[in-house]
Structure formats: structure tokens, C-alpha cells
Structure 1
């Protein structure tokens, strides 16, 4: 079973790399404003998770700079996800805004949020 997951993970990553979307072009001022806002976002994810790949593609398509945190191989990130979000489930977008932290699970919810906020 581990071998099958490993092979499928590599296939998913290969296809993602081969068909990587291009980003949105914005003025440098607008992009700097968005970069400053998204500096407060972190995506907890597993590298080969297909739902995480979908969210990362949306991030790239929207030209967003969001920190990616590996919750599979990095024990600190895994612990943060469990302590803050309440469970180790990916993808999870952490949003720190005005001293308050929000944990958003579900790839479709994360993608809808990002596409609406940064059209």
C-alpha cells in the first residue's frame, strides 16, 4: 500500500509540474499590497495530497505568496496544526488577522476564499 501511495504521489507531482498554471499579472503596487496581506497566511499541507495540489495550483494561478508548511514531515508544523486547528487534516489555511487566528479546512472552501478575495 505504501508503494502504491508513493507511486501515485510522484505521478500527481509530475503532472502538477508539467501542467503548472501561469499566474495573474498585476501592477507592482497591487502585487505588493496583496503580498503584504498574504504574509499572514500559511497553508498546512502534504506534498503529494491531491487536494493540497489543487489549492497550491490556485495559489499559483492567483499569484499569491503564501507560506507552505509541511504537516507530514515537519513535526513542529504538524503540532501547530493539531493544537490550533484541532485536527491533523490537510489542506488547512491558517489566517492571522488583527491578532485573531482562523483555521480553514476543505480545499474547495480555501480555493473559493482565495479566488473571491484575490480575483
Structure 2
């Protein structure tokens, strides 16, 4: 399985879409609240190139947009 890290913000409706999907399908990965600290925000910028959330890092490569992240989960982590 690839190394997965989700950067999110609790107040972001697009992040909620992703986290609700994760909860429904029992997907458990490392999650980092971008808004928790300036260090988390800077880490997201350093790794992903911008502060946008949601951002799923897949082996260090950033995937943005909630629909794309949900699709990636469906294609790679959810049993058919």
C-alpha cells in the first residue's frame, strides 16, 4: 500500500466530503489538520506546493480536489 497522508481543514466542506467517504468505507490513514499550526500549513506547502485542502499525498505526490481524492479511494482502497 502506498504511503498516504490527508491534509484537511475541519471547516472545509470539500474536506468533509472526503472524510465522510473515509468514515463510510473505514479508510484509516494519517490525517493532518492544516489549520492546527503554522508548521502544518507550511509542511503542506512544502510537500504539495500550495496550502489548498483537501490534499492527499500518495507516496509524497499531491492529489487535490475532493472528487479526485474520493475517486482514488474508490479505485484503490474500496473493495468492489
- Give the conservation status (yes or no) of the 8 Å contact 1:45–1:68: yes
Greater C-alpha Rg: 1
Q: Distance in 1 between matches of 2:58 and 2:39?
A: 18
Partner in structure 2 of residue 95 of structure 1:
58
Matching of residue 116 in structure 1 with residue 75 in structure 2: yes
- The unaligned stretches of length 5 or more in structure 2 are none
Moved over 3 A (4+): none
**What's the counterpart of residue 59 of structure 1?**
22
Q: Give the Cα–Cα distance (whole angstroms) in 1 for the partners of residues 77 and 6 of structure 2.
A: 16
Whether the aligned pair in 2 keeps the contact of 1:55 and 1:107 (CA below 8 Å) is yes
Q: How does 1:1-119 map to 2 (within 5 A)?
A: 37=1, 40-96=3-59, 101-119=60-78
The answer to which structure, 1 or 2, has the higher relative contact order (CA under 8 A, 6+ apart) is 2
Structure with the larger helix share? 1
CA RMSD of aligned residues (A): 1.3
Q: Which runs of 5+ in 1 are unaligned?
A: 1-36
CA distance in 1, matches of 2:6, 2:66: 11
Q: TM-score, normalised by structure 1?
A: 0.61
